[in-house]
Structure 1
Amino acid sequence: MATSTPGAGRRGTSTLGWVLRGAAAGAAGTTALNAVTYLDMVGRGRGTSSTPEQTVEALAEKAHVRIPGDEEKRSNRVQGLGPLTGLVAGIGVGVLTGLVRATGFRSQPLVGTALTTVGVLIASNGPMTVLGITDPRTWSRTDWVSDVVPHLAYGVVVKTTMDAFA
């Protein structure tokens, strides 16, 4: 029988164990978010968003970091880095969820899903908003639905996955 130490859970899971579980849940949630986004693109025939690439460009400029390569290679690198920012946000929120779980906090499904959804919305849209790339105050209802629904899918998958770890 495991000892009752903070972060140990019923199975004696360490803080690192919860962090790793959170990272896995975040990766699963990010996959769900991407799948819902791609299905929306297929259904409505819409193109990809350029905001991730714009975020990479703005962050590189603010940090005074040059993205190397000729015009084509540099553009390709930016196109690769853009989606990686989403992976970092999604896995990062999962890691934070694991850290919270390590403290012994466990929420009801709807509360946990809402908290996780809000967390990933802030992690993904916050930098773009602060950098002036987007302004959620100007979004249409369709824009909001297109953004919230995939993030909600992320929240559901992360919460369900974390709960399955017990």
Structure 2
Amino acid sequence: MIQSIVRGGVAGAAGTTVLNAVTYADMALRGRPSSQVPAQVMDTLAQEAGHPVPGEGETRDNRLSGLGALSGIAVGCCTGVAVSLLRQAGVRLPWWLGGPATGALAMAATDIPIARLGVSDPTTWSAKDWGADVVPHLVYGMTTYGIVTARDCAA
């Protein structure tokens, strides 16, 4: 079980790195700004927990930006662990289904809280907005699932 947890964490970290690279490439190509949604989610969660993020102005904004990025890394690594443990439990999807399913799981883990907290309403997103969310998560899923299942290919 420990090997599955480690493998999943490593796979999720690699997938998160690829997701970030695709996102930053999209920002560079289209000239779009970074999303403030992760910081807004962290701000809302901290407020609701009764522990508002300290500081004022730019200092507070920077803390929230860092917390938002860290939360994305945590979701990516935890999703990898979950997928690896599911695989160990016998859920064995083919790569063409497992990769997109892994990406969809990570996307749901981020988009559902966004909607539930009222930070953004995905039903109002444009096709470009959805593309900026779906494509990186698909690449995340393919990378993460590929690493989780790589040992099976080598055996």
Query: Do both proteins adopt the same fold according to a TM-score greater than 0.5, normalized to the shorter chain?
Result: yes
Q: 1:19 to 1:64 in 2, by over 3 A?
A: same
Q: What is the match of residue 141 of structure 1? A: 127
Per-residue CA distance 1:68-96 (angstroms, 9 max, x = gap): 23444322211210111111111110010
Query: Which position in structure 1 is the counterpart of 2:144?
Result: 158
1:118 to 2:104 alignment: yes
Equivalent residue runs for 1:30-45 within 5 Å: 30-45=16-31
Identity of aligned residues (%): 43
Aligned residues: 152
Distance 2:114 2:14 in 1: 23
Match in the other structure for 1:76: 62
Matched, 1:127 2:113: yes
SS in 1 for 2:54: coil
Q: 1:165: Cα distance to partner?
A: 2.3
Q: Which has the larger radius of gyration?
A: 1
- Name structure 2 gaps, 5 residues minimum: none
**TM, length-normalised to structure 1:** 0.87
1:49 to 13, 35, 38: 35
Q: Map Cα deviations across residues 80-137 of structure 1 (whole Å, 9 max, x no partner).
A: 1011111111111001011112213221011101210110110111111110111111
1:22 aligns with 2:5: no
Matches of 2:133 and 2:56, distance apart in 1? 33
TM-score, normalised relative to structure 2? 0.93
Structure 1: which 5+ residue stretches go unaligned? 1-14
Greater helix content: 2
Counterpart check, 1:60 vs 2:65: no
